[in-house]
Amino acid sequence: MKEIEIIPLPDKEAAPFGLLLLADPSSERIQQYLPLSEVYVARFRQEVVGVYVLCPQEEGLVEIKNLAVKEKYQGKGVGQALLQHAIQKAQSQGFREISIGTANSSVGQLYLYQKMGFEMTSLRKNFFIENYPHPLYEHGLLVKHMIMLTRYLS
């Protein structure tokens, strides 16, 4: 999809919560990290088709807290374009590392992140069980652990 434009969320626009909830089903958690973050949206013919949230952590590290693509646009390169944009943004802001977390059951995301140069660096055991009020399932599997992946920037 060559016509995708990725831009900072305009000040007047509300964050696309429907999209954000695809990647993180907790509106409370989203509302916690959103004010501390930069939000970027992917547009295709004026329609918001994807989003990512970039949140600085300790010095030199920035985390992609949320990355989501509308279902009908998944598998068309939007997620990869958002990830590449986030990497470039982190580099231009002087970060040395960029990280992203995903569920143990998120095989598509794990593939994409590793394809884009991220490496598994840690496991947050029982993260989803301890931080979400209801059990989450993906591909028929109980979502339990968060796998953290990091890409080292040059």
Segment 41-67, tens digit of pLDDT: 999 999 999 999 999 999 999 999 999
Q: What is the mean pLDDT of residues 116-144?
A: 95
Residue 8's pLDDT band (cuts 50, 70, 90): very high
The pLDDT of residue 82 is: 98
Residue 1's pLDDT band (cuts 50, 70, 90): low
87 - beta bridge partners? none
The pLDDT of residue 63 is: 98
Q: Which of 84, 21, 89, 24 is nearest to 55 (CA)?
A: 89
Q: What is the mean pLDDT of residues 21-47?
A: 94
pLDDT of 2 above 80 = no
Which tokens go with 85?
A: 């944009």
The pLDDT of residue 11 is: 86
pLDDT of 148 above 90 = yes
The pLDDT of residue 135 is: 94
Helix residue ranges per DSSP H, the chain: 17-23, 27-33, 78-92, 107-115, 127-131
For the stretch 68-111, pLDDT in tens is: 999 999 999 999 999 999 999 999 999 999 999 999 999 999 99
Separation of alpha carbons 68 and 52, rounded Å: 6
Give me the phi and psi of 100, to 5 degrees please: -150, 145
Separation of alpha carbons 48 and 36, rounded Å: 22
Q: What is the mean pLDDT of residues 10-35?
A: 93
pLDDT of 25 above 80 = yes
All structural domains of the chain: 4-152 (3.40.630.30)
**What's the pTM value of the predicted model, to 2 decimals?**
0.92
